[in-house]
Amino acid sequence: MSPKSPEQAGNPVAHALQLARETLPPMHPAGRPFVAGGVAATLLLRRLSKPLGTVAGLATLATAAFFREPRRVPPAREGLALAAADGIVSLIEEATPPPELGLPAEPRMRVSIFLSVFDVHVQRAPATGSVERVAYRPGKFLSADLDKASDDNERNSVLLRTVDGHDLVVVQIAGLVARRILCQIAEGDKISAGRTYGLIRFGSRVDLYLPPGSRVLVSKGQRTIGGETPLAELPQGKD
């Protein structure tokens, strides 16, 4: 916790606000229109019916919670591929990266993370590097925990080249309820490990394709924290 300023020490209200800022996670900008609309609906419904206003207020709070963007601190250790999202490791298997990225059609180890509606839904860079390619592909909206969701569902793929020359592929995949993928980076951008780069609304999945020779550090069923949990050790030298 950051030290209190003299003003905060002598002002209980300022101190309480400081504690709230340090305890409550900030909200991703994409959530502001939804929360603003919820607040307006709550105020309007309260004039008509207090129970309806209460329901609308709770729904607005739930929406604000969905768009939360907690601060994360990546590990200081180098040579790691970090989890790009909060969730549960649902699959660890070899698979071919999305063809729209133009990579060789050779299987790589893929770690899939399933996000429920209760998880933080921002995506974070798995490593520090440069964005080589971003490719969006429309598709279906099957349940994101199904094996074929990686191939059939709407997705947005990013090819990231790390500072050590490794190619990492991170894919945002829409789910049964998720109908909007946001990606806030473009080809040529530099990005640091753990930085938020996108968001999927309301239930989804994120796949990470690793370079050959990587050592997976997680197990199926393990919970991950985006931007903090090491998913794999990258090979020494360029892949």
Catalytic choice (112, 204, 214, 219) = 204
Domain locations in the chain? 12-67, 80-233
pLDDT the model gives residue 21: 53
pTM of the model: 0.78
Query: Which pair of structure tokens corresponds to residue 148?
Result: 């074929």
CATH code, residues 80-233: 2.70.70
The CA-CA-CA angle for residues 79, 135, 224, to 5°, reads 40
Q: What is the distance, to the nearest Å, from the Cα of residue 155 to the centroid of all Cα atoms in its chain?
A: 14
214 belongs to the catalytic site: no
Query: Which pair of structure tokens corresponds to residue 14?
Result: 């300022």
Instruction: Check residue 162 and report its DSSP letter.
Output: E
Query: Which secondary-structure segment (H or E) carries 40?
Result: helix 32-48
Give dist(CA 181, CA 217) in Å, integer. 28
Give dist(CA 225, CA 232) in Å, integer. 14
Instruction: Check residue 2 and report its DSSP letter.
Output: P
- Per-residue pLDDT of the chain (239 residues), as tens digits, is 445 554 455 666 665 556 555 556 676 666 677 767 777 888 888 888 888 888 878 877 766 666 777 888 899 898 999 999 999 999 999 999 999 999 998 999 999 999 887 888 889 999 999 999 999 988 766 655 566 667 777 889 999 999 999 999 999 988 665 557 888 999 999 999 999 999 887 668 899 999 999 999 999 999 999 999 999 999 986 54
The CA-CA-CA angle for residues 84, 95, 129, to 5°, reads 40
Give dist(CA 212, CA 19) in Å, integer. 45
